[in-house]
Amino acid sequence: MSKNILKAPMLNTVTRWVNEDIGQITDSLVSIDNSGNLATLGSVTTSQLKIDANNNFLNFVGSGAQAKVKEQIAGLGSNLMILWPGSVTTTGVRGGTGTAQTLVEDDAWAVMRELPEIQVAAPTQRGSGQIVWGNTNWLAAIVGATPEYFEARDWNLVSGRMFEFGELSSSGKVAIIGQTVARELFGETDPIDQIIRVRGVPFTVIGLLERKGQSMMGQDQDDIVVMPLSTARNKIFGALQGRIGRVSSIFIKARDGVDMKDAEDKVRDLLRQRHRLGLNAPDDFSLRNLTEILQAQEAASQVMSILLAAVASVSLLVGGIGIMNIMLVSVTERTREIGLRLAVGARGKDILSQFLVEAITLSTIGGVLGILLGAFGTWLVATLAGWRVELSILSIFLAVGFSAMIGIFFGYYPARKAAAMQPIQALRYE
């Protein structure tokens, strides 16, 4: 009986307040729907658009930059080791790496034949010389090599063909040139089947290499003329390179998945055995492993990823705070609407669901617009600046998903605050 007595005055009071203020509340609701909600919609959507556009732009441009770095590193040759001759000492004066003639062509074939970890081993003879075609000339690097050289360097042809067996064995006067040599000598003319002179010796151009770009040391890798190893040794370099069979370097490519440190140790042991070096005798060769460069590339990629993540996190945090403030303003402006809904029977979870649905809807709208804006900005960068970019569907979903989570997370507190209001206090709010 006492409970009913207590309930009746409260119900009558709420009813009176509703009747007194129904007109004002209705006007307020209309005003809020026409201005407050629209303003909130615009502000939240704009904030979410900025977040998603910024995140997608960073993802697209950042992925493109990482891919470009990986491409440049891969241009050196994956799983690549380079074997150089050692140094020579004359009258107490020690020469640098490569001054001793300690490597022979058979060393390369032995490495490839006896070590299953090795995919290919390519002996090379390297120098430089003047290249002449018609009335034009160009100084370029000259490399005598076998077909394994192109496999070790991951180097393909744009046009033409590789060396044939007869050309390799009989010192055929054929050459494959790089893009820089083709541009400087031939311009727009097709270089295939053209006759060039290398140190005065005529060669037929049979192939054009794909563009490889600069090396890690800034050298132009496309400024090159490649000919059969026997041709370079017998017709170009001659006695300048020592006895028949000597090579200036050996490019060694390990198989995928092989431990490079283990492969390097086996190559070193084999070369020491072939060169009959004593137990305590120093190596008469130099073996360089490009794994360190690849590791440096991976470390650089990780640093770039962390940097992009940090920038995106700041964007998410700032945008999320903005969304929370906008939603708080919306709750404040709609206090009497909330009180009215509570007074006529709405529960706290209904109010909570209302504002969460609004936050999700607005985050979704802003996310879609942000994707479009981020893609447009990425296209502008790729077109105007000439940068490489990569559009990743996974990156788009991750960026939009995280930004939507931020919007929902920062929209929960205002929603929870609205759901916890007392009807009397909400209706009395001015």
Domain range summary for the chain, segments of one domain joined by +? 21-73+297-428, 80-289
Vertex 215 angle, CA 214 and 221, to 5°: 60
Q: Model's pTM, two decimal places?
A: 0.57
pLDDT for residue 366 = 72
pLDDT for residue 186 = 93
pLDDT for residue 389 = 65
pLDDT for residue 28 = 36
Which tokens sit at 354?
Answer: 């209302």
pLDDT for residue 169 = 87
Of 243, 334, 238, 344, the C-alpha closest to 38 is 334
pLDDT for residue 52 = 56
Q: List, for the chain, all residue ranges whose pLDDT scores fall below the cut of 70.
A: 1-78, 87-100, 215-218, 239-244, 290-298, 301, 312, 316, 319-320, 323, 327, 381, 385-392, 395, 399, 403-404, 406-407, 410-411, 414-415, 426, 429-430
> What is d(CA 226, CA 125) in angstroms, rounded to the nearest whole number?
10
pLDDT for residue 377 = 73
> What is d(CA 340, CA 139) in angstroms, rounded to the nearest whole number?
87
Packing angle, helices 335-343 and 291-333, rounded to 10: 70
Average pLDDT over the chain, rounded to an integer: 75
**What does the DSSP 8-state code read for residue 240?**
G
* CA dist list (Å): 121 to 3, 13, 47, 169: 95, 94, 58, 18
What's the gap between Cα 241 and its chain centre? 42
71-124 pLDDT, tens per residue?
555 555 558 888 888 765 444 444 444 456 788 889 999 999 999 999 999 999
Phi, psi of 101 (to 5 degrees): -95, 80
pLDDT for residue 139 = 94
